[in-house]
Each structure stands twice: as structure tokens, then as C-alpha cells.
Amino acid sequence: MVTKPVSIGVHVPSAAVTALGSGEDYAEFFRQVEALGLDAVWTEDRIFHAANMLDPLMLLASAAACTRRIRLGTAVLVLTLRNAAVLARQVSTLHHLSGGRLALGVSLGGRPEEYLALDVPMKRRVAVFRESVTVLRRLLAGQPVDHQGPFFRLENATVRPPAPVPLYVGGHAEGALRRAGELADGWIMGPFGTVRDFPGAWRIVRDAARAAGRDADRLVAGRLVYVAVDEERDRARDALRAFLHGYYGPRFASSCWACRRWTSRTSGGWPKRWRRWCEAPRLAMPTRC
């Protein structure tokens, strides 16, 4: 297995429960991330959500305008709710304007109200996702595309400039893990699940890549980690609980117990499981720091 350096990024506060405020507030946030030496900013995506999130690609366009080095990524974009041909044009433009810094994390999503509003058949979302990835990849290569499928029909369609954007699939279900290995350049593990869960999930991703005739050692893995920094552990836990309640709902707020246990375990040094977690090449996306 090839080991690559760990890349550390920050999830952009874009939901109503964490939003920064004005455009200049965001510009200052992006500049500070770059000045601190971090590697990336990552945005999230929901079409309709009680948290009322800002558009992920427009946020990254703002970040591109006021930074020069950091990677700009989505973690993750709900691909099945966006027209892949239109998205290819947006991605090509943003990748060009940012100097080639864009990375695209995508997923299925699972909120019926969003699928209903956008007239996308939720029962066929896996098929929509697979064809969307195919169309997106081919268009971003910059060559004329002819494609006849159940969801997209293209005749001599071209998107330029070409945008060789790395594509990551997010999710924790076995199907998502297999799609990451079969279709993408890597996998993004969401916030739920433990370090202990990683090796088995990563094995599924790599096995799927090999079964598809792909080089598993070229894949990368990322992890979304929620972090609240405070001198008092209880205040940090309460801040995390408030965020999780606002974004995921009350049933996920109890996940904060894991953060408290993790803090106590790591006070004397990194556990062995953390070293095993670092054995694979990855990008990491703490949401707050």
C-alpha cells in the first residue's frame, strides 16, 4: 500500500446554525485558513434543509477569489439532484478560475422531499448517480461527447477548458463504498462511525476498485470530523451537541459522547487505532478549529 501525506482542511461554516455572516466575513475566513497553513476548505450541500445552507459552489468561487494555494472541495455535493451537464460547465469554470484547485466530493443524498421537488426518481437514484458520474467525467475531459442513456442524451457536447478534477464519493453504506472504488478517485467517510470501522470499509473500497480493473493504491480516503475547541470539555461538548442537533436532528446529538471519550483517551498520546487510521493516503476535513 502506498502511503501519502495527510492533508488537513476545514469545512466552511455555511448552515444557518454556523454561518459566518457577510461576504467579507467569509473572505477573511478563507484568508485565515490559508495563512494558518491548512490545506483546504470544504463545503457541504443541501437543496432544502432547515439549516438553510449556502450554495457550495458559489462559496468555493468566493474562496477562489481571495486565496492562492488551498484546495477547494465539496464534501459532499448531492450529485443526483444536479444536472450533470450543467454541473460540468460550473466545475470547469471554477477549476479554471481557481488555477486548478478544485476537488469534487459527491454522494446520493437521501431526503425524499428534495428528490420530489426536483422531479428526480428517488427509487432510481443509484442509476442516476452512476450515469451522472459517467457524463461528468467525459465532459470534463474536454472532448466532444455523444451519449445516449436513460437520463442524459448528448450530441457532440463539449465543455472547455478541460478540468481534471479529482472525484470522491462520500457515504458509509456498502453500496457507496463500492461505488467509490469503482467510479471515483477516493472515498470520504462521513462523521458517523469510528476509527475501528475504517479498515473494513476501506477494504471494501479497495476490493471494488480492483474488481473494476483499477489501481487501488491510487485511491485516497478522507474523513469528516467535527471538532469544537474549548478549554472546558463540557463547553466543547455542548457546542458540538448544539451543532449536531441543528444539522442532523436530535437523534444524532447524543454522538457527542464519543468526542468526550476520545479526548480522555488521547490525553496520554495517540492510540494505536489512530496510527492504523493513518496508514492509508487521505485528506481530512475537520469542520471547526
Q: Helices 125-140 and 174-183 sit at what angle, rounded to 10 degrees?
A: 20
pTM across the whole model: 0.86
The mean pLDDT of the chain is 87
Strands 153-157 and 145-148: antiparallel
Give tens-digit pLDDT for 101-115: 999 999 998 889 999
| Greatest mean pLDDT among 45-59, 64-78, 250-264, 266-280 | 64-78
Whole-number Å distance between alpha carbons of 224 and 20: 20
pLDDT of amino acid 51: 74
Q: Say which range, 1-10, 129-138, 165-174, 232-241, has the weakest mean pLDDT.
A: 1-10
Answer with the residue of higher pLDDT: 239 or 24.
24
On whether the CB atoms of residues 285 and 42 are closer than 8 A, the answer is yes
ω before 76 within 30° of 0 (cis)? yes
Partners of residue 221 on adjacent β-strands: 187, 282
Query: What domains, with CATH codes, occur in the chain?
Result: 7-235+280-286 (3.20.20.30)
What residues contact 272, with CB distance under 8 A and at least 6 apart? none
Local confidence band at 287 (pLDDT 50, 70, 90 cut-offs):
very low
Give tens-digit pLDDT for 200-221: 999 999 999 999 999 999 999 9
Give tens-digit pLDDT for 164-199: 999 999 999 999 999 999 999 999 998 877 889 999
pLDDT of amino acid 194: 82
Q: At residue 274, does pLDDT exceed 50?
A: no
